[in-house]
Structure 1
Amino acid sequence: MQNSISTLLVTTDFTEKSKNALEMAVHIALRHHSRIIILHNINHFFVIDKTGKQLLGADVVKNNVKRVEKTFQKMKTSLVSEYPKLVIETILTSDTLINGINKVIDDEDVDLVVCGTSGKQDFIRVVIGSLSYEILTGVNTSVLLVPESCTKYTFEKILVPVRVTDNLSDKIDLSLTIAKKNKGSIDILGISKEDNVNTIGKAYLDVRRTLEYCSQRYDSHFVETGDNALQISEYSKDDGADIIILNYQDEQSWKSIFMENFFKQIINNTVVPLFFLKNRYEKKIDSTKVGDGYDVLLPHPG
């Protein structure tokens, strides 16, 4: 698997959390010599009558498109003025958010989707699902979730949990790439239940040997626990981690229909960016089975 980050896509609804996600994307792009695509989605609403499907509020939608395009131009001009070497594009879509993102991923060969998160969710949004959760589970490439409160845009301390073995080498390769670009160190956290200590322990030692072979600075710890998400979140705070690298396929095996599932727990309890590694060349997610984005990107620049 290729772990370069050549093209980043940033979703925006022009709120503070999405502005912060864009700031993070800019710093990543400058380090990795990547291009940035900023995407905003406008949902079109229809009603079906005897004459067929009709667009409601066409004039409103048209005005919204003009406002978004004007806002895009201001953003692009400002960013290029501040960072002359930055390669930046804007795209406006009018599909469901997930379909729109996945089409751009395919058309533009996107390596990473960057999305802002608000942090703690209220009860209703945790049960129903948040924007960041919808993007994480719905798009067909790696996802970086950036908390609105995050103000550090370099990754000098990179936390890499080792708790399942699938695709672990890809996760380590990515971590080495990020460490090189940030002149950072890697912290390996072996984390296992009692009945899986031998398997995870072996993988943990293999990772340590790989980092030593690559002459990569690292620390390592091993813990036994039954609460993986909480343990990782708490450890990241105690360790002063700047980013946590997770393999989406690894974490997917822990998913649950309950709100206590791994994804929502770690999103709601972690205050640093979460990088979920996905392989674009594996079987793609069926975006028709994902929610239609009722709370997705707002039609008005805020």
Structure 2
Amino acid sequence: MPTKIKNIIVATDFSEKSGNAVEMAFHIAVRHEAALTVLHVVDQFYLIDRSYKQVIGNEVTQESISLAENNLAEIQKGLAERCSTLNIKTEIRHGSLIQSINDLIAEDNTDLTVVGTSGEQKIKQFILGSNSYSILSEANTSVLMVPKSFKKYRFKKMVFPVRVTHNLDDKLDFALSIAERNDSTIELLGIGDTETSDELKKEFIGLKKKLYERSADYTAEFFEAPDKATVIATFSKAAKADIIILNYQDEQSWKALFAENFLRKIINTTDVALLFYKPKTEQRKDTGQDTPYDITLPIPG
């Protein structure tokens, strides 16, 4: 089976959590013989008065660029020394993080975006969304979220939940391409409720058949439970999973500000790598805006 991962982006702000994401992206790129882009987005700090005169900005931005260039050069050198055949480049972009990622995804035909998470959701982040969650929500490609404390860079045990019916065949192909490169055991996990069990069981049985036909190493279990995130988290911990491959579909009700939102709940209840599969044809419009603050008005926030 040909690789499904040929181009990878990893976003870094040079923190510990993004450093671990770079490490994970490096291992994946080596296994898949994929090109790796390490991206840093420079914040543009500026204030503008009512006459539209720039008050600050260029000097601070240039200092940030110089520091980023040095840090990226060190990262690139270190990775190249460990694998001389790795196709790696670095990128510095400006302004909106999401727009920068999506521009690069379009330019490089990216297959996977890797981002680090702290594993700690503060109340404000939980309500409004951290950078990692924004990338998950808005990036136009599949997203791998790597907790800062997660140090297992080969996926020997992969949990594959079946909780919604969207894009399951494509998601399975993507998972099998990863399993092939990691010699993974796939733990197929069906989770239905009173409204969806019959449909999901049908899809679950179909996936079992496909795994058997492709001679995959797998196990399969089906549960009925209303709280799918908790079932996945509990099952994955018991199975000592290295990665959970999820469909990005969030039952598509905009509960995103509340605790019952599946995506937020699964992020907050697991401590392993989470890969959210998104079809490459599913494009999302960037909502980030770079808005200068008028120094004669209160600064929002």
Per the normalisation by structure 2, the TM-score is: 0.91
Residue 292 of structure 1, CA deviation: 6.2
**Alignment match, 1:29:** 29
Contact 1:45–1:55 (8 Å) recurs in 2:
no
Compute the displacement of 1:244 (Å).
Answer: 0.7
Unaligned runs of 5+ in 1: 294-302
Residue equivalent to 2:285: 286
Report the CA distance shift for 1:243/1:214 in structure 2 as closer, same or farther (over 3 A): same
8 Å Cα contact 1:246/1:274 also seen in 2: yes
Mapped to 2, the partners of 1:153 and 1:174 lie a distance apart of 18
RCO comparison, higher one (Cα < 8 Å, 6+): 1
Other-structure match for 1:179: 179
SS in 1 for 2:10: strand
Distance in structure 2 (CA, Å) of the matches to 1:254 and 1:236? 25
- Which residue of structure 2 lines up, in the alignment, with residue 268 of structure 1? 268
What is the CA-CA distance between 1:53 and the residue it aligns to? 5.7
Q: How many residue pairs were aligned?
A: 289
| Paired AA for residue 190 in structure 1 | G
Asked whether the equivalents of residues 120 and 269 of structure 1 are also in contact (C-alpha less than 8 Å), the reply is: no
The equivalences for 1:1-302 within 5 A come to 4-52=4-52, 54=54, 56-248=56-248, 250-251=249-250, 253-260=252-259, 261-282=261-282, 284-288=283-287, 290=288
CA distance in 1, matches of 2:59, 2:257: 41
Q: Deviations over 1:94-130 (max 9, x none)?
A: 1210111111111121111100001131222211211
Structure 1 residue 196, shift from structure 2 partner? 1.9
Contact 1:44 1:55 (C-alpha < 8 Å) held by counterparts:
no
Rounded to whole Å, the distance in 1 between the matches of 2:124 and 2:64 is 29
Which residue identity does 1:267 align to in structure 2? I
CA distance in 1, matches of 2:159, 2:22: 22
Please, what is the CA RMSD of the aligned residues?
1.8
| 8 Å Cα contact 1:3-1:173 kept in structure 2 | no
Q: Gaps spanning 5+ residues in structure 2: where?
A: 292-301
Question: Within 2, Cα distance between the matches of 1:55 and 1:145?
Answer: 38
CA contact (8 A) 2:190 2:201 kept: yes
| C-alpha deviation, 1:67, in angstroms | 1.2
Q: Distance in 2 between matches of 1:55 and 1:70?
A: 27
Counterpart amino acid of residue 262 in structure 1: F
Q: Secondary structure at the match of 1:37?
A: strand
Corresponding letter in the other structure for 1:198: D
Residues 66-101 of structure 1: per-residue CA shift (max 9 Å, x gap)? 111111111111111121111110100112101111
Structure 1 residues 21-42: Cα deviation after superposition (integer angstroms, max 9, x where no partner): 0100011001100011011111
Inter-CA distance 194–108: structure 2 relative to 1 (3 Å threshold):
same
Letter in 2 for 1:69: E
Q: 1:258 to 1:59 in 2, by over 3 A?
A: closer
